[in-house]
Structure 1
């Protein structure tokens, strides 16, 4: 049985707030609440792939401490824009 959109959004939200490090819980949790519902399916697929990445890599990408893989560049920029005050000073 195929997962409906609402169920998928709830699952992705849960995966966003249950990370390995607290900073990523805060950053991805905020993004999941504010931006996830408006993403088209293709971007949800990309976000789901992003959630499979290592938390330390994700944090480094968002903080600008490591180069972002091309496939995630736009998504990381969008997540990072909402992370001001969590990762970057305001």
Structure 2
């Protein structure tokens, strides 16, 4: 199995449980976005998406909320396709396909 296959593999139950615990936030507003995200997407969550979500969870609560509400764009190291996709899912938007991203 190559790296691409590994990153596109579905998250196992243990990893999903750890991720849910890591995603607990101090702001209720962030928790609402995150709980909705898990309710909609946890069954199909990939390792790549979990990694991107982990990157977003490294942000402060206020910075994360600004991204979720669209007050700030992704910048610097966060401007990655996987982080952009997960942010769209968190916001409740349909993520862009690769052909739409390049258009």
Same fold at TM > 0.5:
yes
Tell me the matched-pair count: 78
**4+ residue runs over 3 A deviation:** none
Task: After superposition, give the CA deviation of every residue in 1:50-88 in whole Å (9 maximum; x if it has no partner).
Answer: 212111111101111111231222211121126xxxxxx
1:15 positional shift: 2.6
Counterpart of 2:88 in structure 1 is: 77
RMSD: 1.8
**Structure 2 residue runs without a partner (length 5+):** 1-10, 94-103
Query: What's the TM-score, normalizing by structure 2?
Result: 0.65
- The TM-score, its normalising length taken from structure 1, stands at 0.73
- The structure with more radius of gyration: 2
